[in-house]
Amino acid sequence: MDGVGRAELVLALVPRNEVVILPVDDTLGRHTGKHIRAAGMHHDPLLSTRVKPVFHWGHVWVVLAVVIRVPVWDRSFALPVLARLYRSKKLCDNEGCAFSRRPSSPRGW
């Protein structure tokens, strides 16, 4: 089942009068080793500063979630419904697949 099907299942849990929040996250998973497939050098926003950018080898996973509020517990949960591995332009060129850029966040985020 692809993410669209999972999103429909999760959205069925949201009451009709509730606002739907769809957060997107791109997380760098730092991995090393010669047997890690589809990895590349990526900017690490957690360790970088404005003065010194830091890069690490690994995977970048882009995840779409649906936020569900549970009124009984007065809590909200983000349920992931779609995840894709971001592939660098170099890797896409080597494998002959389509490349799409990650959206860049505005300065100061």
Comparison of pLDDT for 23 and 39, the residue scoring more: 23
- What are the residues whose beta carbons fall under 8 Å from the beta carbon of 70, sequence distance 6 or more? 76, 77
pLDDT at 109: 37
User: Could you tell me what percent of the chain has a pLDDT over 70?
Assistant: 82
When pLDDT is averaged across residues 62-87 and rounded to a whole number, the result is 83
Q: Bridge partners of 78? A: 67
Q: CA-CA distances (angstroms) from residue 51 to 27, 54, 86?
A: 21, 10, 26
Nearest to residue 42, comparing CAs of 24, 27, 57? 57
pLDDT at 2: 54
Domain boundaries, the chain: 3-95
